Amino acid sequence: MSQTIVRTSGLAPKPAMKSDDYVAQIIARRGADGSKSALSHEGKVQKMALVLQDEVNGIKRLGVGMVGPIQLKLRYQGIIRNVLMEDPVTPGTPVEYDVWDDLGQAYIMSGTEGEVRVTPFEGKRVPVRFFRIASFPAIRKEDLVYLRLNAVEQAQDETKQAIQKQEDSRLMVLLQAALTSYATRADHDVTPNHNVTVASGDFTPGALYTAVSQTDEHEIESARLLVHPSDWRDFFRWDINTTGWAFKDRVVAGEKITSFGEFAIQRSIVVPKGKMFLLPEPNFLGVFPILYSLDVEENHNVEAFWRGWVFDEMVAMAILNPRGIATITKA
């Protein structure tokens, strides 16, 4: 079975961009007031037909059109872009960051296929290691001929899920490794474990504020909670004297709970069940350097009558200040 990878725009991928820049571009296209509404189903099919009239670059253009929506969803549905500071870097220049921790220790993610390695680093500045995250969506040739929009949208959604899962899974490994290594250092004598264990079946307000007090001792304020979707439901069981009427009213109204008090709440299946992470604002935690943003190339399996793409990005991850990380764990 053979595959054909087609490059139609040279070897240079697109420059690195923050996801917020993609959001700004989409808002600009739609109009700041939303006056330029999203296309109807029929409008999307017509646009797809117009793009595919380009026999040379049509499929590539179809893939390029997916990049913005995918980045938009990664920004608002993924974890990493809300937890670490995005930093588009300039290719060809050394990429190093100051270590913010008072013990002079940072944690760097380096990952290739089948390998995720976390390296403690001691010093004033730390270099990062870039790695590739990729997805390989494909649709059948006849789906393009019949202009089946749902097949294209499904490929776009699968790509978003694949990229998001790879990014966020690596982030969770990095967070846990940084917390474990930092909390067990012999010269770390303040709040040595950074973990609170709850004996009951649910997370409790008392456990939350005990964990918060641990990061407070490092003079870093917790700002975000990461939980598994099944553990997210624990917030719904808290007493009204703890949550207040406004919180309960939102629950009864069917609103998605995305905050509690001073904390933003984010849920994801990549967060281990029975564990809650407390994190500070991104500028007090670490960086997400981007060598180049999500890029797309054609990747056809001609013999099997598939048309597809390769979506990839080159990124890095670094925890520069582990003092603000804490966890709550169910016994």
Q: Are 213 and 304 members of one domain?
A: no
What separation, in Å, do the N-terminal and C-terminal C-alpha atoms of the chain show?
Answer: 50
Q: Are 174 and 197 members of one domain?
A: no
Whether pLDDT at 74 is above 80? yes
CATH assignment at residue 205: 3.30.2320
Tokens coding 86? 């995005």
- What is the enclosing helix (H) or strand (E) of 68? helix 58-77
Lowest-pLDDT range, 93-97, 128-132, 135-139, 308-312?
93-97
The residue that leads in pLDDT, 52 or 169, is: 169
The residue that leads in pLDDT, 154 or 112, is: 154
Q: Are 93 and 237 members of one domain?
A: no
Q: Please indicate, yes or no, if residue 330 is contained in any of the structural domains.
A: no
The predicted model gives 53-67 an average pLDDT of: 84
Local structure of 71: helix, strand or coil:
helix
Local structure of 67: helix, strand or coil:
helix
Q: Are 176 and 43 members of one domain?
A: yes
Q: Are 142 and 256 members of one domain?
A: no
Q: Please indicate, yes or no, if residue 114 is contained in any of the structural domains.
A: yes
Is the CB of residue 260 less than 8 Å from the CB of residue 247?
yes
Q: Are 46 and 138 members of one domain?
A: yes
Of all residues in the chain, what percent carry a pLDDT higher than 70?
85
Whether pLDDT at 127 is above 90? no
Confirm whether pTM is higher than 0.95.
no
Q: Are 72 and 100 members of one domain?
A: yes
Predicted confidence at residue 34, as pLDDT, reads: 52
The residue that leads in pLDDT, 281 or 191, is: 281
Predicted confidence at residue 257, as pLDDT, reads: 81
Q: Are 18 and 112 members of one domain?
A: yes
Q: Please indicate, yes or no, if residue 123 is contained in any of the structural domains.
A: yes
Lowest-pLDDT range, 20-24, 60-64, 235-239, 256-260?
20-24
Q: Which residue reads 């849920």 in tokens? A: 267
Predicted confidence at residue 219, as pLDDT, reads: 85
d(CA 104, CA 126): 10
Q: Please indicate, yes or no, if residue 111 is contained in any of the structural domains.
A: yes
d(CA 266, CA 232): 9
Number of separate domains in the chain: 2
Nearest Cα neighbor of 179 from 33, 57, 322 is 322
Q: Are 83 and 55 members of one domain?
A: yes
Q: Are 48 and 156 members of one domain?
A: yes
Q: Please indicate, yes or no, if residue 185 is contained in any of the structural domains.
A: no
Lowest-pLDDT range, 20-29, 55-64, 255-264?
20-29
Res. 151 pLDDT band, cuts 50 70 90:
confident
The residue that leads in pLDDT, 9 or 284, is: 284
Ordered DSSP codes for 172-222: HHHHHHHHHHHHT-TT--SSSS-EEEE-SSS--HHHHHHHHHHHHTTT---
Q: Domain limits at 243?
A: 190-283
